[in-house]
Amino acid sequence: MTPSTSNPPNPPNAPNPPDAARTFSIGGEHRVNRLGFGAMRLPTGPGPEREAAVAVARRAVERGVTLIDTAHLYGWGANEELLAEALHPYPDGLLVTTKVGILRTGPEGWAYDARPESLREQVEQGLRRLRTERVGLLQLHRIDPEVPVAEQIGALRELQREGKIGHIGLSEVTTEQLAEARRTAEIASVQNRYNLFEREHEPVLEACEAAGIAFLPWRPVAVAADSGGSSALAAVATELGATAPQVLLAWLLARSPVVLPIPGTASLAHLEENLAAADLRLTDSQRRLLDRAAAPDRSAGRD
């Protein structure tokens, strides 16, 4: 997954070579560009905001995004419907992944629900909203503490056998939960919160690296909890002529070849800014500076 060592090194901030280092094969089937798009922030109401959201989704695909993340939780299905409106019929090579396992319990309430019969209903509803008969990657949004893990994953495995799910993923899991899930089915992806300043899931990322599992960090762009992290980030951004969010995304892309960031936005300008991060290259010294400034004992993040 890395360029040949026989090639001359690229200078700092030079575009990455157009090879496998910029892509990842999810489940051995879906080769996607590693910098994806998270659709959660797209507004789903009527009017000009919806038109703008459709334009952002379409522009992302025009700019080469081949991995888009959504979920039943986002607008309680409205986000999936928006993506179908914007992108269906889906172009070849585009992987739209969704998540299930959380249901609304009232106007403001929600709860985990990964009972097998509920998961089946949620998946089938999602397929209808996305206007497709098969979702290439279906992720369990959270492990339901009231249902045995084997039953939850087993239900998704059955839907996979029926051809309604291509590959199974997890979200916000521990290494122990990942290992337990893998005893029931092959796991193609993990989506945990992870960024330069929030790295408590480092062991999960390492487990994904060892197994060749895609790691999709949610909240990929975060802010430093102290001046040390902010100063280091600003210094590297200045050296590269980039923005702080671009540096944070570049750091994730450099962290591991299995990392597939999915930054989200409802702004065309921010979309272009995010996608430009794929062409940033951090030097070893810049990475060391960022890592030191964001050591786990002095890091945090917020929305």
Question: For each successive 10 residues of the chain (303 residues), what is the average pLDDT?
Answer: 32 39 95 98 95 98 99 96 98 98 88 98 98 99 98 99 99 98 99 96 98 98 75 96 98 98 98 98 96 64 31
pLDDT of residue 192: 98
For 127, list phi and psi in degrees, rounded to 5. Answer: -60, -40
pLDDT of residue 218: 95
- Residue 303 resides in a domain: no
- Residue 293 resides in a domain: no
- Residue 199 resides in a domain: yes
- Residue 158 resides in a domain: yes
Neighbours of 228 (CB within 10 A): 15
Single out the residue of 168, 114, 161 nearest to residue 139, CA to CA: 168
- Residue 301 resides in a domain: no
This prediction's pTM: 0.90
Indicate if 74 belongs to the active site: yes
Kindly provide the b/e burial profile for residues 161-191, where b requires at least 16 CB atoms within 10 angstroms of the residue's own CB: eeebbbbbbbbbbeeebbebbbebbebbbbb
pLDDT of residue 165: 98
Question: Which listed residue (74, 90, 112, 194) is catalytic?
Answer: 74
Q: Domain span at residue 38? A: 23-222+256-266
pLDDT of residue 79: 98
- Residue 234 resides in a domain: no
- Residue 262 resides in a domain: yes
pLDDT of residue 10: 33
Q: Are 206 and 184 in contact (CB under 8 A)?
A: no
Q: 81 CB contacts (<8 Å, ≥6 apart)?
A: 44, 129
pLDDT of residue 223: 76
Single out the residue of 231, 234, 258 nearest to residue 246, CA to CA: 234
Residue 86: strand, helix, or coil: helix
- Residue 85 resides in a domain: yes
Structural domain count of the chain: 1
pLDDT of residue 104: 86
pLDDT of residue 295: 73
Joined together, the tokens standing for residue 102 give 């959380």
Check which CATH number belongs to the domain holding 42 and give it: 3.20.20.100
